[in-house]
Chain A
Amino acid sequence: MIKLENVSKIYPDGTEAVRDISLQIQEGELCVLLGPSGCGKTTTMKMINRLIPITEGKIYIDGTDNQELDENELRRDIGYAIQEIGLFPHMTVAENIATVPHLKGWTKKEARNRADELLELMGMDPAEHMDKYPVELSGGQRQRVGVARSLGANPPIMLMDEPFGAIDPITRDSLQDEFLKIQAEIQKTIVFVTHDINEAIKMGTKIALLKDGELIQYSPPAELLAQPKNQFVRDFVGADRTLKSMRLMRARDAMKSSPKTVSVDSDIGEVREEMESSDVDYLIVTDDSGRFQGWIRAADLDGESVDSMEEVLSRDVGSVGRETALSDALSVMLEEDVANIPVLGNDNVLEGILTFNDLQQVIGETYTEEGGGRQVTG
């Protein structure tokens, strides 16, 4: 756990970079420091591992005042990754990753095994990359090695200053995804600096939004989007925050569970009855184990005589997963030109159904709220 208590920083030249910030980061949380350039994100982060001395206030790490620890020992227990990466050009990838293990007195073999393990974790073939030099790597690979290096001695806490800042958007996106997967496994306590609102929303357990050295709002991403504290926050998260919150919400949050279904083995008569009695114009078809098979539409049952399920069952239709973001679910609906879409779990088992109405409702909620905000501030 990291705790900042009334922390301020005034640089020797008089710049007040950080003003009276207090916040707590729980174990296993990823706290994003977010804000415009020059708002004091880097300064705040570097006071945690004492690369920058604190002017006022205290920082506790797992309850211990960080000023009471030996600064080098402290830093060896806190992973550190920066935008410029700063790989050592005269050392191989393995040697770079082994930096902190080496400082901590691990044996060569232990350190090398660790490098192997971390490269694997970062999705780089160890055998191929261990003995390369940084110049021989691509930008994205260097960034991965930088992150691997910061995880070197398995520190419980990590500081990351725009760790994915210097790469193209597509690589960045996949690095973020991979890192989130890794984080779900390793559960570090992380301070993550970025000025990119989308990255913050995607990565953060909580977001600390700073402005001119002051902490403006400290909340989980969804709350930051739904309840911006003031106009600055509203402006910073952007007018498209509805879309952003749709990116944050999952299909499982908006779906209706246990929709009406019929078995793939039922005969057409039963299906007709079922539709009439429950007054719906479609039914979802599943098999015995609840796996999604397709749709039957009322329109297809009308007119000509239909006598087998196969004739009217549309199998080849879109679906989404439980964890699919609502924004993605919406694109699938638009692409497939449907107003309902099944939400599937493992092994295609039907979990629920997401309707266009459900989505509209979600969008509606945020819009009402946003409209209110606009009126107040003109």
Chain B
Amino acid sequence: MKGKRIMSVILITIMVGLTIYYTLYGSQGWYDPASGDELLIRTWEHIKLVGIAEFLAITVGISAGLLITRPGLKFLASPVTGIANVGLAIPPLALVAGVSPFFGIGFRPGIIALFIYSLLPVLRNATVGIEDIDQSIIESAKGMGMSRLQIFRKIELPLALPVIVSGIRYSTILCVGTAAIAALINAGGLGEIIMRGQSGNFGSLMLQGALLTAGLAVTLDWLLSEAEEKLTPEGLKLGKEIE
């Protein structure tokens, strides 16, 4: 964990440092790099895209993912995780492009595309996190007289939590990358800068956008792995060390 922390900080520093360098000294002839103000605005847009899509994905994904592990709906669990896994094989570019004929272009269609894509890992991990719990654990809980709700709250949820959070982490990183592509349908965000640079064949612009996108992804990954670590029950962590 400590190694990851140090690596993240180094990476983020390099990325932000390089971005500042290109912002200050990246001019080529009459091409100017994006200004600091624009970078801030685009970064904020990017964060909004990811934030809103991820919020929706987490809310819907966890609720639905947990719901289909309940006794009456269990039959849905394996088809749904199957669909989620297949869905994740669709390239983000195809998804983003596929959304716009139905929902048009702009910020909202962008959110829709991102939501669909980020939903899948969250949903899958919530379901798998519960389903993968050793049945003998549930069986003994039941045999000792815990109610369904008690089993869910005291056993299933804490044991599935690390898997759920790791789904959120995976989904968030995916979302940061996909959000850059969402500029294709005018959703805003750092992708706009990358694409402007690309159409003008202007390296500094592309690098500014790319470095900030990567920096954002690394930052979120780091924060969420800290959360994952915090939320993993002590007894499970020890298990991993021993294995």
Contacts and interface: CB of A to CB of B under 8 A. Distances in A.
Interface of A: 49, 51, 71-77, 80, 82, 84-92, 99-100, 103, 133-136, 146, 149-150, 152, 159
B150 A103 contact: yes
B145 interface: yes
A156 to B, nearest CB: 14
B5 interface: no
Given A92-B235, A133-B234, A135-B242, A51 B144 contact: no
30 contacts: A51-B139, A51-B142, A71-B145, A72-B146, A72-B147, A74-B145, A75-B142, A77-B145, A80-B144, A82-B140, A86-B137, A86-B138, A86-B140, A87-B137, A87-B140, A88-B141, A88-B155, A88-B235, A90-B158, A90-B233, A90-B234, A90-B236, A91-B235, A92-B235, A99-B144, A103-B146, A133-B235, A135-B238, A135-B239, A146-B140
Contacts of B142: 51, 75
- Which of A51, A82, A89, A134 gathers the greatest number of chain B CB atoms within 10 Å? A89
B148 to A, nearest CB: 10
B236 to A, nearest CB: 6
Contact of B143 (A80, A92, A136): A80
B134 interface: yes
Given A88-B155, A89-B159, A133-B235, A100 B144 contact: yes
Contact of A82 (B143, B234, B242): B143
A80 B140 contact: yes
Nearest to A152: B144
B195 to A, nearest CB: 47
B145 A72 contact: yes
Given A72-B147, A150-B144, 16 more contacts: A51-B143, A73-B145, A75-B144, A77-B145, A84-B134, A87-B140, A89-B159, A89-B233, A90-B234, A90-B235, A91-B235, A92-B235, A103-B150, A135-B238, A135-B242, A159-B143
Contacts of A149: 144
Contacts of A84: 134, 136, 139-140
Given A75-B143, A133-B234, A86 B136 contact: yes
Nearest to A86: B140
A86 B235 contact: no
Contact of B134 (A76, A80, A86, A103): A86
A82 B144 CA distance: 11
A76 B141 CA distance: 10
B201 to A, nearest CB: 55
Interface residues of B, number: 24
Given A90-B235, A135-B238, A49 B140 contact: no
Contacts of B236: 89-90
A282 B137 CA distance: 63
Interface string B114-150: 0000000000000000000010111111111111001
A85 B145 contact: no
Contacts of B234: 90, 133
A266 to B, nearest CB: 65
Contact of B139 (A76, A82, A136): A82
A91 B134 CA distance: 15
B155 A76 contact: no
Nearest to A70: B145
A82 B145 contact: no
A26 B165 CA distance: 51
A63 B138 CA distance: 29
Contacts of A135: 235, 238-239, 242
Top 6 A-B residue pairs of the complex, sorted by shortest distance between their CB atoms:
A86-B140, A84-B136, A90-B233, A133-B235, A75-B145, A76-B145
Interface string B137-179: 1111111111100100001001100000000000000000000
Nearest to A133: B235
A84 B144 CA distance: 15
Interface in B76-106: none
B163 to A, nearest CB: 13
Contact of B145 (A86, A87, A88, A100): A100
Interface in B195-243: 233-236, 238-239, 242
Contacts of A85: 136, 140
A136 B136 contact: no
A138 B145 CA distance: 27
A133 B158 CA distance: 15
Contacts of A80: 140, 143-144
A159 B142 CA distance: 13
B238 A133 contact: yes
Nearest to B241: A135
Given A82-B140, A85-B140, A86-B140, A136 B238 contact: yes
Nearest to A79: B144
A89 B144 contact: no
Nearest to B140: A86
Contacts of B140: 80, 82, 84-87, 146
Contacts of B155: 88
